[in-house]
A and B are shown apart, each in its own frame.
Chain A
Amino acid sequence: GENVEQHPSTLSVQEGDSAVIKCTYSDSASNYFPWYKQELGKRPQLIIDIRSNVGEKKDQRIAVTLNKTAKHFSLHITETQPEDSAVYFCAASNDNQGGKLIFGQGTELSVKP
């Protein structure tokens, strides 16, 4: 089955710097890759997602890139702000697995003012 590895587990940056979180997956059939943000004590919320027919997607300060050959995808946050501090989860899924999202271990991002 699918396995998703996420790195780093913790990341600390200064406000205004960029942050990059990387995930690798094992199942080459995976075709959907969402990223969720979970603030302390709150529910995970989708911030951006990408499908395998696209190599990059951007939404304001966040972007996701996908390398299908290498089976890895990354989240990029530019101009970080303290409110970006949260735990970020990547996930992978494919239509053959139904709704089964396989999540990475999570990255705790801390943005210091």
Chain B
Amino acid sequence: ETGVTQTPRHLVMGMTNKKSLKCEQHLGHNAMYWYKQSAKKPLELMFVYNFKEQTENNSVPSRFSPECPNSSHLFLHLHTLQPEDSALYLCASSQDEGAETQYFGPGTRLLVL
């Protein structure tokens, strides 16, 4: 599937590193999302962007910094992460921000040492 892509697929970083996750959607959607998926926990919404504007920040620590330069691209900048931030980070998109189908990317498996 190529609708929503994410890079890298795997990432190992130290607590003092700075890295970025990238998401790209080829579906012509206007809304994009970042989710965190930890073991034994529900998917947690982190950020929502609609037409490049952030509309939701679900009390996410400032060590996670999103960026949405256009409706097709979404980044998650990471710095000074903690081991408990290790998780699968999923990007999703939907036609518009609303109660409708979201399409997920394959995720980035992040390990913080």
Is the Cβ of B101 less than 8 Å from the Cβ of A103?
no
B57-105 interface (Cβ within 8 A of A): 58, 90, 94, 97-105
Minimum Cβ distance to chain B for residue A11 (Å): 16
A23-42 interface code vs B (CB 8 A; 1 in, 0 out): 00000000110101000001
A100-B104 in contact (CB<8A): no
Given the interface pairs A34-B101, A43-B105, A45-B104, the reply to whether A100 lies near B48 with Cβ below 8 Å is yes
Report the minimal beta-carbon distance from A95 to chain B, rounded to whole angstroms. Answer: 5
Q: Are B99 and A95 in contact (CB-based, < 8 A)?
A: yes
Contact indicator A95/B45 (Cβ below 8 Å): no
Contact A98 B41 (CB under 8 A): no
A101 at the B interface (CB under 8 A):
yes
Q: B41, B48, B98, B100: which contacts A105 (Cβ < 8 A)? A: B41
What is the count of residue pairs linking A and B with beta-carbon distances less than 8 angstroms?
A: 65
Contact check, B43 vs A99: say whether CB atoms are below 8 A apart: no
Contact B42 A98, beta carbon cutoff 8 Å: no
Tell me if B101 and A49 are in contact (CB < 8 A): yes
Q: CB-CB < 8 A to B45: which residues of A? A: 100-102
Q: Which B residues touch A93, using CB under 8 A?
A: 99
Name the B residues within 8 Å of A51 (CB-CB).
Answer: 99
In chain A, what residue has the closest Cβ to B32? A99
B residues near A (Cβ < 8 Å) are 1, 4, 31, 33, 40-43, 45, 48, 50, 55-56, 58, 90, 94, 97-107
Provide 23 A-B residue pairs closer than 8 Å at the C-beta atoms, listed in order of the A residue: A31-B99, A43-B104, A43-B105, A44-B43, A45-B104, A49-B101, A51-B99, A93-B99, A95-B98, A95-B99, A98-B55, A99-B55, A99-B97, A99-B98, A100-B48, A100-B56, A100-B58, A101-B43, A102-B42, A102-B45, A105-B40, A105-B42, A106-B42
